[in-house]
Structures are given as C-alpha cells and as structure tokens.
Structure 1
Amino acid sequence: MTTTGSGGEAADVTADREVVISRVIDAPRELVFEAFTQVGHLSRWWGPKGFTTTTRSFAFRVGGAWDFVMHGPDGTDYQEWITWREIVPPERIALLHGEHRDDPNSFESSLTFEPAGERTRIVMRTLFRTKELRDEAVEKYHAVEGGEQTLDNLAGYVADLTRSGFTPEGVAD
C-alpha cells in the first residue's frame, strides 16, 4: 500500500510490516495454482525444509478454512489456521493466517500467480499487524528463509508432477 506524503512524494506505509518473497517456478500457472489450492497437493509440499503437514479440515472457498498442524524436524508441532479471503483462479489468493481462528497476531498474505511464458512467477506478500510482529516472525521464526524454502518445496513438487505427465484440472492435454 502506497500513500502520498505532504510533499507529494510516495511513502510506503507498510514496508516495515511486510515480507515479500517471490520465485519463478518451471510449470504452467494452472498447475502451480492447483498445487496451492487442493489439499491433496498442498499437504505434500507445504512448509519449510524438513517440515510435514497434517490437515484437520480443509475448505477452499472464500470464508472457508484450512486447519492444520505443521510438524517441525525437531518434533515441535505448530498449530495453524488459514481463512481464505479472496480466490481468483488462477491469478490470486488472499488469506488470513494465524495459530487459530480469531488469533490476534494473525497476518494477511496475498499470493499472485503470474504467467512467465511456460513458467509461473509466484509472489507471496505477507503483511503483519505491527512492525514488532513482523520482526519476531523474521528473527525468531525465520519467516524469509522459511517462505523461500516453502516455495522451493512447491517448485520441486510441481516439477515432479510435470515429469509424471500430470495435467491440472480444467486444462486440456
């Protein structure tokens, strides 16, 4: 979000609360979007390196939720809750992510899926409620590295799907 300052200059009012991670994935946009939106795919690659995911419930629709547990490589379990706020297939997803429904420290994320020839550029933009929450996520929970690893996992997963000849729903062979 950009606003104009008193001198007419643009001032970014969210930069100190935001984390932006992007990656070009060697797969068509429809496949990358499907891997991000269907629990059968999502549970196979979600999370940083060494993490696994157990889904409790999943409803991919605006207002629906994904209730899940991320299991860290050290055995720590992280309770997670995502509420889907906007879905524009295969272009954009907006969500609210916290430890549980109504988590006061939840954060907003938007994901854009941009065609790049036969590849897809995914941009994950995360906005925290405060600079302190962003700093804690970056410093304590390694949000940047974890986000990059998560997108690496997605890239590897869709590469495997592509090699196997998988075709996303709604795309003709």
Structure 2
Amino acid sequence: MSNNAMVSRIENDRVLVLERVFDAPRDLVFKMFKEAEHLKRWWGPRGFEVTVCNVDFRPGGVWHYCMKCVDQNLGQFYGMESWGKAVYKEIVESETIIYTDYFSDAEGNSNDSMPSTEVTMEFIDLDGKTKLVSRGEYVSAEAVKTVMDMGMLQGITETWDRLEETLNEFK
C-alpha cells in the first residue's frame, strides 16, 4: 500500500471532501468505478462483500448494489445487508462522475429517512498516478453528522484501501 492516505475535510458545514492519490493511471482508476466486475472486488469496508451489483453506467442510469457483512468478527454487523443506489447525472470518461447517492432497499426504492448525497468525483492525472477527489454535498450539517456518526468515514477509508489493493493487482 502507498503512503497516500486519504485526506478529508468538511466545507460549508455540508460538503464532505475526500482526496487520495492512487499509484495507478487515471483510465484504470476510472474503470474501477464503471464496471460491476471491478466494483464487486473492492466496494465496501473490510469484512463486507458486494452480493448484488447492477450497473447501468450512463447519465440517467442506475447503480444498485448490496453490501453484506461476511466477517463474524464484526459482531452485530455480521449478516447485515446494506443496500445502496446511485443515479448517474453526468459522466465525462476518465475525468468526472456526478451522481446522487441513496440508501435503498432490495427493490431499489430510496430510503427517505436517510440522507442522500450529491456526489462529484474528479479523476485528476498526475503523471501516471491519479488524484481522486470526491465531493459529497448533503442537504444540511445534520445530514453530514448522521453519516459521520454511522462510521461512514472509516468505511470509505477502508473501501479506498481495498480499491488501492485491487489497483495493485493490475501492476
């Protein structure tokens, strides 16, 4: 693993910005976000695996997935399923993905009791490496607090660690 730790900050009380540099070309990092076969290998925190992953990678398309806890060491989370849905708004190949991220159920219905997120992901070429910048805009500071209290920052850190491990397999 590289020494490129994730950097996070909150802007304007409701925008969570995450940044990390991956030692892989931009096209490859981007590809990891657009194809189900790749997402299934790394999406989710440690101890979870993606059991359902349907991707329609185009503006207006939907990514619907289920992460299931398969690690008995995670105690109360073992066996838990977490469903999510992303609706793509804009895609610029190898550069940008903009989508709305929702908690959902198995049928793809959004869970309106949980905050949705407007996400803009930028893939920046750094001479063979890639800086990934994710900006998640929430409706309020309370919504940011809700997801932070759920452990989202630790979860996304572990997810991006798994992404890096997957990218390393392509070297």
Would you say same fold, with TM above 0.5? yes
Give, in whole Å, the separation in 1 of the partners of 2:116 and 2:43: 18
Mapping of residues 16-165 of structure 1, within 5 Å: 16-72=13-69, 73=71, 74-100=78-104, 101-104=109-112, 105-139=115-149, 141-162=150-171
What's the CA shift for 1:97?
0.9
CA spacing shift, 1:68–1:48, aligned 2, 3 Å: same
The AA in structure 1 aligned to 2:153 is V
Structure 2: give runs of 5+ residues left out of the alignment.
Answer: 1-10, 72-77
Deviation at 1:54, TM superposition (A): 2.0
Preserved contact between residue 48 and residue 150 of structure 1 (Cα < 8 Å): yes
**Counterpart Cα distance in 1 of 2:13 and 2:64:** 28
Relative to the length of structure 1, the TM-score reads 0.80
2:8 corresponds in structure 1 to none
Q: Where does the alignment leave 5 or more consecutive residues of structure 1 unmatched?
A: 1-13, 163-173
Q: Deviations over 1:40-63 (max 9, x none)?
A: 111110011221112253211110
Letter of the structure 1 residue corresponding to residue 88 of structure 2: W
SS of the residue corresponding to residue 54 of structure 1 reads strand
- Normalising by the residue count of structure 2, what TM-score does the alignment of the two structures yield? 0.81
The amino acid of 2:90's aligned partner reads E
1:46-101 Cα offsets, whole Å, 9 max, x none, are: 01122111225321111000111111242210111111111001001011111234
Contact in 2 for aligned 1:21/1:148 (Cα 8 Å): no
Tell whether the 8 Å contact from 2:34 to 2:55 is kept in structure 1 after alignment: no
CA displacement, residues 93-143 of structure 1 (integer Å, 9 cap, x when unaligned): 01111123454331111111001111101011111112111101001x212
**C-alpha distance in structure 2 between counterparts of 1:143 and 1:56, whole Å:** 20
Q: Which has the larger radius of gyration?
A: 1
| Separation (CA, whole Å) in 1 of partners of 2:54 and 2:32 | 17
| Alignment check: 8 A CA contact 2:36 2:54 kept | no
Runs of 4+, deviation exceeding 6 Å: none
Determine the C-alpha separation between the residues in 2 that align with 1:77 and 1:114: 33
